């Protein structure tokens, strides 16, 4: 990514949660999709907490600080995430607390005291630090162009499997660790190669279209638009239907071109 495709600053839609205590690493490792126990001090990883049915309830970035962790999550989901973690705590020696004194800052360039975004370095750096910075400008357009779904704007809760949201491509799932909530479903999709739908960036030929607009090839629905910025958007695309499309794609009367992100290791039929 070129410098200044977005202006560094605070992400107003993100919030911070602290998980600490002697059992913090083991607790998170047994719940989340990523390998938390082997995360080095100062390291960060992308992860999700799933439902028992294998769908994403919350996706997050996890930063290790000594024996504790800071979780960068959607501000709109933090209270629900805390409640869910508390349900799993049982007798574990773990403290779960909001950190309103901290905020998430992003930059297209390296930030002193920060970390490269573990999903892809193309989206720059993040830092969890004291609140007070001005808001970032243009970040959503940058993440959409790179094919990165947002917790609130795209994923919601209980709607997508990790493969659909590309967690398997972006380092958000460990296929070597032990059990975690929803693991059987995720492992089955991985080994059988049954991820028919993927969130992908698209280009709209005639400007914006609202979230939820169907993408069609003639009479056949191929996908659904998610968040957008200008003539760029994310969309949930059925790859099998994309391969079979016999007519140009359109959404709300506007032409659609499906793009393949640089990080994607799967085939996107006909992608630009």
The string of pLDDT tens digits covering residues 78-119 is 999 999 999 999 999 999 999 999 999 999 999 999 999 999
**CATH number for the 196-258 domain, one of 2.40.30, 2.60.120, 1.10.1760, 1.10.3470?**
2.40.30
User: Cβ–Cβ contacts within 10 Å for residue 272, how many?
Assistant: 10
Domain with residues 9-137, CATH architecture: 2-Layer Sandwich (3.30)
Q: What integer best gives the mean pLDDT of the chain?
A: 95
Ordered DSSP codes for 90-146: TT---EEEE-TTEEEEEESS--TT-EE-SS-GGG-EEEEEES-PPBPBSHHHHHHHT
Which one, of 197, 242, 262, 210, lies nearest residue 55 by Cα? 197
Any idea which of 161-170, 191-200, 242-251 has the lowest mean pLDDT? 191-200
- The ranges of the chain annotated as CATH 2.40.30 are 196-258
Q: What is the pTM (predicted TM-score) of this model?
A: 0.95
Percent of the chain with pLDDT over 90: 91
- The ranges of the chain annotated as CATH 3.30.70.1400 are 9-137
Q: Given this model, what pLDDT does residue 33 score?
A: 98
The string over 166-196, giving b where at least 16 C-beta atoms fall within 10 Å of a residue's C-beta and e elsewhere, is bbbbbbbbbeebeebbbbebbeebeeeeebe
């Amino acid at each position: 990514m070129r410098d200044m495709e977005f202006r560094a600053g605070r992400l107003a839609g993100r919030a911070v949660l602290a998980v600490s205590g002697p059992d913090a690493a083991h607790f998170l490792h047994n719940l989340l999709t990523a390998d938390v126990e082997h995360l080095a001090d100062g390291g960060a990883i992308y992860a999700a907490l799933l439902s028992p049915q294998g769908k994403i309830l919350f996706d997050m970035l996890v930063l290790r600080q000594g024996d504790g962790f800071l979780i960068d999550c959607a501000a709109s989901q933090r209270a629900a995430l805390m409640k869910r973690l508390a349900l799993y705590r049982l007798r574990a020696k773990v403290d779960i607390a909001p950190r309103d004194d901290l905020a998430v800052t992003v930059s297209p360039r390296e930030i002193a005291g920060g970390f490269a975004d573990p999903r892809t370095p193309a989206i720059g750096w993040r830092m969890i630090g004291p609140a007070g910075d001005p808001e970032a400008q243009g970040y959503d357009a940058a993440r959409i162009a790179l094919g990165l779904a947002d917790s609130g704007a795209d994923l919601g809760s209980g709607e997508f499997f990790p493969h659909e949201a590309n967690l398997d491509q972006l380092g958000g799932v460990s296929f070597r660790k032990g059990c975690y909530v929803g693991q059987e479903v995720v492992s089955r999709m991985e080994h059988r190669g049954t991820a028919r739908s993927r969130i992908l960036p698209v280009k709209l030929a005639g400007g914006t279209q609202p979230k939820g607009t169907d993408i069609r090839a003639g009479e056949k629905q191929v996908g659904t638009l998610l968040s957008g910025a200008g003539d760029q958007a994310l969309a949930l695309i059925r790859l099998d239907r994309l391969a079979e499309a016999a007519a140009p794609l359109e959404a709300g009367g506007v032409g659609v071109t499906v793009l393949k992100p640089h990080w994607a290791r799967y085939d996107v039929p006909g992608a630009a």
